[in-house]
Structure 1
Amino acid sequence: MKNSVIYLIFLLFLGISPSMSQEDPFLRDFLIRWEQSRKYFIEVANAMPEENYFHTPYPEGMTFAEQMMHVGVIIDWHAFSKFGGRNTEIRWDDFKAEGKSKEQLIQLVNSEFERAADLVRDVNPEKLDETASYADFTRTRRQFLLLLADHVSHHRAQMIVLLRLQQIEPPNYIHFQ
């Protein structure tokens, strides 16, 4: 009994709850990767000067700010509707870039990353095989998390291209793996 108490105190001292040993490996790994993705996204967003946030090199393209808001709205929709089961429409109006400063845009997207992480932390791993649909696709909750991560990478890469078109070297990805 004494050894058990000492072990528990040791785990608490390290900031590890005893239940962590029972957590789902996929969710654990996803959350680690998600945090690194969030950090890299914010670094990329910080690299672009605010005066270039609303420029696009071609008329049909999204601006840097619009790329950011697109990521934010899809995090909200994929995480809370498709992964979390909220079953709502995409909230485009809540994620308009116009009228927002660079700092406001970064804060909004950062908040969406954090909200999604909190949702994933609280999910029951037994629900990962449940499905939801959109368009012509039916996916498991696990697959929706993977799609969400892919979507962030896709648009962050477009943001990196916009940085390069401004002759700005993007943050080194190797630091965020």
Structure 2
Amino acid sequence: MFRSLEDFVRTWERETAQTVKLMDHLTDESLSQQVAPDHFTLEKLGVHLSQAITYMMSSAGLDLQPKKERDSFKAEEISALYKETAEEFVSTLQEQWNDEKLTETTTFFGSETTYGTILLLLLQHQTHHRGQMTVLMRQAGLTVPGMVGPSREEWAAMKR
């Protein structure tokens, strides 16, 4: 759980930079990759990360609106949408919440929790889907950048 906005914002900026780095490796040709029929494609996972910021945090009381609702995105549009959404979220968060708010309790999707814990859940949700994206990216033949340490390719290059 987070108890200060400054701590969250530092963590958020570091994590969103990692997410952008991952999204910047997507190609238009890879976007239809999915683990199985009726599962999210890489495109849908990328867009979902942006939509989830707005959905989760507006459910927690922030005044956020979805950026773009449409059926299809190109790879560079997914990254741009995510960046824009993540930046607007942090700006809105800093305007509307303070450190004291983070220790207040609320009901969030049927469970009693603190606002600081909601911020942690948002980060965990993003990390979960980033992991899914890395698997699909490998299946699509893309090189995956390191997220928490070097990727396989980065590690191999370091050993040379």
TM-score, normalized by the shorter chain, greater than 0.5:
yes
2:59 paired residue number: 81
RMSD of the alignment, in Å?
2.6
Post-superposition CA distance 1:14-47 (Å, at most 9, x none): xxxxxxxxxx963212111111111111111111
Distance 2:55 2:37 in 1: 26
Percentage of pairs with the same residue: 24
TM-score normalised over the length of structure 2? 0.79
Q: Give the counterpart letter for 1:173 in structure 2.
A: M
Runs of 4+ with >6 A deviation: none
Mapped to 1, the partners of 2:7 and 2:142 lie a distance apart of: 32
Contact 1:131 1:141 in 2 (8 A): yes
Of 85, 95, 99 in structure 2, the residue corresponding to residue 112 of structure 1 is 85
Number of residues paired by the alignment? 148
Distance across 2 between alignment mates of 1:160 and 1:63? 12
Tell me, yes or no, if structure 1 residue 150 matches structure 2 residue 124: yes
The within-5 A match list for 1:1-177 is 26-84=4-62, 86=63, 94-96=68-70, 98-122=71-95, 123-174=97-148
Residues 1:77 and 1:131: Cα distance change in structure 2 (over 3 Å): farther
Once residues 86 and 149 of structure 2 are traced to their aligned partners in structure 1, the CA distance between those partners, rounded to angstroms, is: 19
Q: Structure 1: any 5+ residue segments left out of the alignment? A: 1-23
Q: Say whether the 8 Å CA contact 1:56–1:62 is kept in structure 2.
A: yes
- Name the SS of the counterpart of 2:141 in structure 1: coil
Q: How many Å separate the matches in 1 of 2:27 and 2:73?
A: 14
Question: What letter is aligned with 2:16?
Answer: R
Name the stretch that deviates more: 52-61 or 127-136.
127-136
Q: Which runs of 5+ in 2 are unaligned?
A: 151-160
Q: Does the CA-based 8 Å contact 1:80-1:116 persist in structure 2? A: no
Q: Is the 8 A contact 1:83 1:141 kept in 2?
A: no
Greater Rg over alpha carbons, structure: 1
The whole-number CA distance in structure 2 between the counterparts of 1:37 and 1:140 is 21
Whether the 8 Å contact between 2:106 and 2:113 is mirrored in structure 1 is yes
Residue 18 of structure 1 corresponds to which residue in structure 2?
none
Structure with more helix by fraction:
1
Task: Name which structure has the greater RCO, CA cutoff 8 Å, separation 6+.
Answer: 2
